[in-house]
Amino acid sequence: MSWTRSTQINAADHSRRNFVLRMLAATGTVLLAGCDAASRSSWLPKVLGVAEDASRGAQRLASPRRAMAQEFTLADLSPQFRSNGTANPDDSHYQALAARQFVDWRLKVDGLVQHPLQLSLQELRAMPKRAQITRHDCVEGWSAIGQWTGVPLSTILRMAGARPEARYVVFHCADPMDEAGTRYYESIDFDDAFHPQTILAYELNGRVLPIANGAPLRVRIERQLGYKMAKYIMRIELVASLAHIGAGNGGYWEDQGYEWYAGI
């Protein structure tokens, strides 16, 4: 077998090498500028958004509709459950409700239902409850583990009776998100709405749900990311389409470019 030393590479190859490297660097710079420009275009996010549908389809194939999120033990509880986003809604009506421990608060259930409801916290607490120790995965990347107690959303939806054309459950919240006073909103489909672990939680770690974590009521949707799990819920609305909710993408963060299906 014969060999040549790399140090013997001739001058021509050397200049070719420099040329190739410079070409690569230039191409990279141009491509990156292009990627950034494309990110701000109207078409690219739509193209990339194809992946959201693909992920939703594939994840539903890979796990049964009723697949349960992992549950943990008390030993896994995070010492303090991180509060993210709104920690205390800057809203006078909400603050008045909070000042009286939410005794005047009512959960409204309306939209495409047979029987619109108005439920007090006391009534919710009197219903059959579910407690679960689950992991909360934020879109930012962190996870925290907490014990949640509340009423299964399915119980409320069966009480209200969904009309046949209803397809989504929308949560309208108390927390203002911007100067214009847009309040937080989120939505899920019936697969998640009727999932056994989807609960309207009023307790965290065995204590009354703190304001920082969404008092008086927040929803747990354990197989999706944290931003789906609306806090400070005031009203639950059943709708046939999300087109008229906010800018039409189904949620406050969805209207800022995040995926509606947040299973990954």
List own/partner pairs for 243-252 with CB under 8 A and 24 or more apart: 245/170, 245/185, 245/187, 246/182, 246/185, 250/168, 250/170, 250/186, 250/187, 251/185, 251/186, 251/187, 251/227, 252/177, 252/182, 252/184, 252/185, 252/186
Question: Applying CB under 8 A, which of residues 86, 132, 213, 224 lies at the interface with another protein?
Answer: 224
114 binds another protein (CB under 8 A): no
178 binds another protein (CB under 8 A): no
Question: Applying CB under 8 A, which of residues 22, 25, 27, 45 lies at the interface with another protein?
Answer: 45
Write down the least CB distance from residue 143 to another protein, Å. Answer: 4
Residues 126-155 as x/- pattern, contact with another protein by CB under 8 A? ---------x-xxxxxxxxx----------
247 binds another protein (CB under 8 A): no
Write down the least CB distance from residue 139 to another protein, Å. Answer: 7
Please give the Cα distance from 218 to 232 (Å, whole number).
Answer: 6
Write down the least CB distance from residue 153 to another protein, Å. Answer: 17
Question: Applying CB under 8 A, which of residues 11, 62, 99, 180 lies at the interface with another protein?
Answer: 62
Task: Let me know: does 244 contact 154? Beta carbons within 8 Å.
Answer: no
Provide the sign of the torsion angle of the four alpha carbons 233, 55, 148, 199, taken in this order.
positive
Task: Let me know: does 68 contact 221? Beta carbons within 8 Å.
Answer: no
Question: Applying CB under 8 A, which of residues 22, 26, 27, 39 lies at the interface with another protein?
Answer: 39
3-state secondary structure (DSSP) of residue 137: strand
Can you say how many angstroms the Cα of residue 61 is from the centroid of all Cα atoms in its chain? 21
Residues near another protein, by CB under 8 A: 1-7, 9, 13, 16-17, 20-21, 32, 35-36, 39, 45, 47-52, 54-55, 59, 62-63, 67-72, 76, 78-82, 135, 137-145, 222-225, 253, 256-259, 263-264
